[in-house]
Amino acid sequence: MINLKKIRKAILTAVWFMFLTFPLMVMKVNTIENTVQWRWINLAYIGISAFIFSLFWEDLLKRRDNIASKDKKKSINNKISRKLENKKIRNISLFVLILIVVLFPFIMSMYQTSIITTALMYVVLGLGLNIVVGFGGLLHLGYAAFYAVGAYTYGLLYYHFGLSFWLCLPLGALFSALFGIILGFPILRLRGDYLAIVTLAFGEITKLVLENWNDFSFGPSGIANIPRPMFFGIKLKLAEVTNFTYFIAIGLTILTIIVIKRLESSKIGRAWEAMREDEIACQSMGIDITKAKLTAFSMGAVWAGIMGVLFAAKTTFINPASFTTWESIVILCVVVIGGMGSIPGVIVGALIFILTPEYLRAFSEYRMLIFGLALVIMMIFRPGGIIPKIRKTHQFKVKEVKE
Amino acid sequence: MNLEYFFSLFLGGMTRGSIYALIALGYTMVYGIIKLINFAHGEIYMIGAFTALIIGGALSLTSMNPVAIFIIAAIVAIVYSAAYGYTIEKIAYKPLRNAPRLSALISAIGVSIFLQNYVLLSQTSDFLPFPNLLPEFGFLKPVENFLSTTQFLILLSTAVVMILLTILIKFTKMGKAMRATAQDQQMAQLVGINVNRVISMTFIIGSATAALGGVLITTHIGQINFYIGFIAGIKAFVAAVLGGIGSIPGAVLGSFVLGLTESFGTGYISSDYEDAFAFIILILILIFKPSGLLGRKENEKV
């Protein structure tokens, strides 16, 4: 409903935004040539869009609150999961999915396959970080360091000893896990945001060491000419190897999903969940919190290590610039947007988060602007993520009790 | 050991620390009240610097007195940054007040990406030099080897801001309301404090001090681009945590520790690892004092 009061408010908002964006949008100063450019037309754009935006904003927020308070059974997620319980529908959709996945690289171009491979890598990274953040409740801002450890494991072992991709894959996981444990020890006492900032510091230090320790890591110039994965000792052509990398990524994604799914309902998985809810209560129930934290860190790091090796093999070139704090934040965004702790959520989150900027290339320079805005809007309207975690519930039916 | 070198490093560290302190204050105040790591705070600082550059650049084409231009540019930048802080809180954080904490964090990251690209697109991606507006202060002549005019200005204004802020928080009604809200939001509401207003005020003050930092550092370094906010924001966040996040004296102390460590580290050890010193000192301090230098150890309840 649009009434006079709302219009007045919208006009005020528009004026406010015109004031707010005035120096940056209208004036453009070049302090080298000492010129000022005035772009008054931008002011009109801002005013109009702020006016429209303001007209609908409060209604949208109200709608969101109404939906949240309503019965959750009507939500789309629930409908889908209910449908999937039906075996016939489930089998058909699984079949279609497998068909798409297998045929994808043969139908689409190499570029598309390459993008999807990257997205799949982020699925695995997201799932790995999900162990630490989603299951364990430990905010981790330095995850890219583990990713770097994996990539440099392959890069350096190949450079010095000529080790192959397949041998480095488990080694990358191992080193990464060890690194996770080393990182875990000093920060066992830290909580919440103190933990977050220390992980961020570790991530930055790792990057700085890689950048400056030239004898070890070849500094900012990185390692080039890393071989792509080989198919049982056969060297493939570029088009074939792209498809092959895609299938490796698919295989690793499936492996990750299975392992993490099993981990989640294992003893250690439940220990993580208890730790997330309350550390003291968890300890008093007899759970070794040191062990739980260290396993969460190392189990999360394993996947980053594996993906690091794959990343090095896919791009054939690594340098410290790929493993910045920004990268860690991207992976964290994948987890939170998808839905913390929810495996299907993280998968969908990674696909959306990585593919959207790629397909927004049509808007070229505006894509990151739109992307930032989309992050804010998404969080406001779906704060729990795209597919929020559904907590396991156990129900006793009355009949069972009577028997 | 060269004493003059030592002093110049010391004052360089103090200058750095002052800038970190001006940004870290906003971080720590916001965190103290709504427990949000405001990732977009560094961007506010950048916008402050840019606004000052635009206003200063435009006015310097007229025949005004350079010092007057500088003061006008600084005031406009502070007002605008405060307005940005206020608006961002209303749009991006307020609807998320009851949401999971990490959602608000991602929203803040989104704001940060948005603002960076907003400045990049509306202005430029190049480094812009800041017009030289300030004259050299005559009375600093004897010590000009280790204390430049801008450094002096930075130290002085930081001290003034700290004193004003302490007065605001300790002795005014608003300050009392802020402290109450930080302790317990619900209880504060029950005793008749307008929590929304307190939160807005916190964002306004925090953004204003960050903008002041932005203006001062750009006059000191002499050039800016759209990306300066990110690393400054992270460093200030480190400083705030170092001192104990949520504590205002802690943020100041943490900033000076950080600034001095960086300055002496780069001066005496190696300039390659400039950023690493900050993080190493952070880790060392947090290992021995897990809640920061001046952070309160909270009693945990189950």
Tens-digit pLDDT profile for residues A294-317 = 999 999 999 999 999 999 988 888
Q: What is the pLDDT of residue A75?
A: 61
Read off the pLDDT of residues B30-66 as tens digits, 9 standing for 90 and up. Answer: 988 888 888 899 999 999 998 998 888 888 888 788 8
Q: What is the pLDDT of residue A258?
A: 92
| CA atoms of A312 and A308, how far apart (whole Å) | 6
A27/B54 Cβ within 8 A: yes
State the DSSP code for A201.
H
CA-angle at B234, arms to B229 and B235, nearest 5°: 100
Q: What is the pLDDT of residue B77?
A: 93
Q: What is the pLDDT of residue A216?
A: 81
Chain B residues with CB under 8 Å of A21 CB are 122
Q: What is the pLDDT of residue B177?
A: 92
Read off the pLDDT of residues B105-154 as tens digits, 9 standing for 90 and up. Answer: 888 989 998 999 999 888 877 888 877 777 777 676 676 667 788 888 89
A375/B110 Cβ within 8 A: yes
What is the distance in angstroms between the Cα of B204 and the nearest Cα belonging to chain A? 14
What is the distance in angstroms between the Cα of A112 and the nearest Cα belonging to chain B? 26
Contact B117, A376 (CB under 8 A): no
Q: Does B55 touch chain A (CB under 8 A)?
A: yes
DSSP string, A38-52: E-HHHHHHHHHHHHH
Could you tell me if residue B274 is inside a domain? Answer: no
**Among chain A residues, CA nearest to B35:** A193
Chain A residues with CB under 8 Å of B278 CB are 201
Could you tell me if residue B245 is inside a domain? Answer: no
What is the distance in angstroms between the Cα of A123 and the nearest Cα belonging to chain B? 18
Mean pLDDT taken over chain A: 83
Q: What is the pLDDT of residue A215?
A: 81
With residue A36 as reference, give the H or E element that holds it.
Answer: strand A35-38
Per DSSP, the three-state class of A233 is coil
Chain A residues with CB under 8 Å of B130 CB are 31
Q: What is the pLDDT of residue A233?
A: 66
Read off the pLDDT of residues A209-242 as tens digits, 9 standing for 90 and up. Answer: 888 888 887 888 888 888 887 777 666 677 778 8
Residue to test with chain B: of A26, A29, A190, most B Cβ within 10 A: A29
Q: What is the pLDDT of residue B173?
A: 92
Binding-face residues of B in 149-178 toward A, CB within 8 A = none
> What average pLDDT does this structure show over A95-116?
83
B106: domain range?
Answer: 12-238
**Among chain B residues, CA nearest to A38:** B58
What is the distance in angstroms between the Cα of A76 and the nearest Cα belonging to chain B? 20
Q: What is the pLDDT of residue B145?
A: 67
A139/B122 Cβ within 8 A: no
pLDDT bin (cut points 50, 70, 90) of residue B194 is: very high
User: From residue A6, how far is each of A15, A17, A51, A59, B88 by CA, in Å?
Assistant: 14, 16, 10, 11, 21
What is the distance in angstroms between the Cα of B112 and the nearest Cα belonging to chain A? 7
Read off the pLDDT of residues A14-44 as tens digits, 9 standing for 90 and up. Answer: 888 888 888 888 888 877 777 778 888 888 8
User: From residue B187, how far is each of A159, B192, B195 by CA, in Å?
Assistant: 62, 9, 10
Q: What is the pLDDT of residue A183?
A: 83
Q: Does B298 touch chain A (CB under 8 A)?
A: no
Which of A29, A189, A197 has the CB atom closest to B54's CB atom? A29
Contact A213, A222 (CB under 8 A): no
For the ranges A119-123, A149-153, B267-271, which has the lowest average pLDDT? B267-271
What is the distance in angstroms between the Cα of B80 and the nearest Cα belonging to chain A? 7
Read off the pLDDT of residues A137-178 as tens digits, 9 standing for 90 and up. Answer: 888 888 999 999 999 999 888 888 888 888 888 999 999 999
Contact B108, B39 (CB under 8 A): yes
CA atoms lying within 13 Å on the CB side of residue B90: 16
State the DSSP code for A29.
E
Q: What is the pLDDT of residue A127?
A: 93
| CA atoms of B281 and B238, how far apart (whole Å) | 10
CA-angle at A331, arms to A325 and A336, nearest 5°: 120
Could you tell me if residue B278 is inside a domain? Answer: no
Could you tell me if residue B270 is inside a domain? Answer: no
Which of B105, B272, B287 has the CB atom closest to A212's CB atom? B272
pLDDT bin (cut points 50, 70, 90) of residue A360 is: confident
A198/B128 Cβ within 8 A: no
> What average pLDDT does this structure show over A261-277?
89
Q: What is the largest CA-CA distance in chain A?
A: 89
For the ranges A46-50, B24-28, B236-240, B286-290, which has the lowest average pLDDT? B286-290
Chain B residues with CB under 8 Å of A207 CB are none
pLDDT over 60 at A74, yes or no? no
pLDDT over 70 at A106, yes or no? yes
Could you tell me if residue B148 is inside a domain? Answer: yes
Q: Which two tokens stand for residue A202?
A: 């570790």
| CA atoms of B55 and B214, how far apart (whole Å) | 14
Could you tell me if residue B33 is inside a domain? Answer: yes
| CA atoms of B209 and A164, how far apart (whole Å) | 54
Contact A213, A219 (CB under 8 A): yes
Q: What is the pLDDT of residue A121?
A: 92
A384/B122 Cβ within 8 A: no
pLDDT over 70 at A72, yes or no? no
pLDDT over 60 at A186, yes or no? yes
What is the distance in angstroms between the Cα of A172 and the nearest Cα belonging to chain B? 25
DSSP string, A305-343: HHHHHHHHHHHS-B-GGGGSHHHHHHHHHHHHHH-TT-H
Q: What is the pLDDT of residue A392?
A: 67
**Among chain B residues, CA nearest to A378:** B107
A19/B50 Cβ within 8 A: no
Q: What is the pLDDT of residue B286?
A: 84
**Among chain B residues, CA nearest to A365:** B121
Q: What is the pLDDT of residue A197?
A: 82
Domain count, chain B: 1
Mean pLDDT taken over chain B: 86
Q: Which two tokens stand for residue B257?
A: 């520790």
User: From residue B9, how far is each of B231, B257, B282 by CA, in Å?
Assistant: 21, 13, 20
Q: Which two tokens stand for residue A188?
A: 């066992």
Residue to test with chain A: of B38, B53, B120, B282, most A Cβ within 10 A: B282
Q: Which two tokens stand for residue A237?
A: 């052509």
Q: What is the pLDDT of residue B33?
A: 87
ipTM: 0.85
Reported in sequence order, the residue ranges of A175-226 that DSSP labels E, i.e. its strands, are none
CA atoms lying within 13 Å on the CB side of residue A345: 23
What are the extents of the domains in chain A?
Answer: 4-70, 75-107, 110-381
Say how far residue B267 (Cα) sits from the centre of its chain: 24
Q: What is the pLDDT of residue A160?
A: 87
Q: Does B237 touch chain A (CB under 8 A)?
A: yes
